[in-house]
Amino acid sequence: MEGFSIKIGKKNLILTWISYDLYHNEHKILSLLINSLRCIIPYNIDSKILKKMNLDQVFLKLWQDYTSQNPSAYKIHALFSDQGEKVVNDHIAFRTFNHERMNIEVLVRPFIERGYMAAGHYQFKNKHLHAMHFELPGRANAPRVFISELLLNNFSPWLQEQIHQSIDKVNTDIWKSDELIFSGNVFGVPSYNIYEKLRIESEYAAWLYIHGFRANHFTVSVNSLNGFRGIEDVNKFLKDNGYLMNSKGNLFSGFIAGSADKIFESTDYYRN
């Protein structure tokens, strides 16, 4: 069974489906590492291809990669579509490290080139994260782009060393290319032991070490669903179809750092 997190605002109700089903079952950990080999995408994307892609094609490519790793997301999308709903994506999220080769400024380039502008800065002190979100002026239904980066200096020398070693293995051309957002695991075949030790310090670092550069989550704007009277109906609909939900918490609007921890925790490893 999969899980979801809910963000509720006076103007925006957002359903975020949890990323990467492989994180949610103890007996699938070995499968995670085995399947990660499939995530190591050969870096042979022609840069001219991305330059020719319009914004919708960029998001479609990210969605296709995401659903290939998270089939439950495709099923949920289909559940709403089968109800006659047009699913509106409120935002898409990415993860990275605050390293000069791959920080937020590097990751956001393809969106800046398509007109996106910075719209907010956030600090997640408990998670040791800095984040920004970006919006496309003049296009109301364009998904917002939310990018967070792990503050490496806040962690142990061992974690910093492992991450820096992983970064140094990567062909430097990757960091200069706008295709980074599609590139998946660029760090090479992961080590289970390193993954386990990273997870103790930071689930975020462990996730990024395994999955690399791809969408961490897509969202559903609940306010854009016409056939549901409110968030309670959406919750019941998902539960009736076998999906777990986390606590809704309190009302808020926008991206509020203190209220977003559950979304970051949605990819944490846990035992049933």
What mean pLDDT value characterizes the chain?
78
Q: What are the contacts of 84-88 at 24+ separation with CB within 8 A?
A: 84/226, 84/227, 85/225, 85/226, 85/227, 86/224, 87/220, 87/224, 87/225, 88/141, 88/220, 88/221, 88/224
Structural domains in the chain, CATH included, are: 3-261 (3.10.180.50)
Residue 135 and residue 189 in contact, taking contact as beta carbons nearer than 8 Å: no
Distance of CA 68 to the CA centre of its chain: 14
Give the tens place of pLDDT for each residue, 222-270. 888 888 887 888 888 988 998 877 657 554 445 555 545 545 555 555 4
**Range with lowest mean pLDDT among 38-42, 83-87, 223-227, 245-249:** 38-42
Q: How far apart are CA 256 and CA 192, in angstroms?
A: 34
pLDDT value at residue 164: 96
Distance CA 211, CA 36 (A): 7
pLDDT tops 60 at residue 35: no
Chain segment 120-162, per-residue pLDDT in tens: 999 999 899 999 999 999 887 889 999 999 999 999 999 999 9
CA pair distance 154, 201, nearest whole angstrom: 10
Q: 93 by DSSP, 3-state: which?
A: strand
Tokens, residue 50: 């991305």
The pTM of the full predicted model, rounded to 2 decimals, is 0.75
**Angle value at C-alpha 118, between 113 and 122, nearest 5 degrees:** 140
- Name the pLDDT band for 69 (thresholds 50, 70, 90): confident
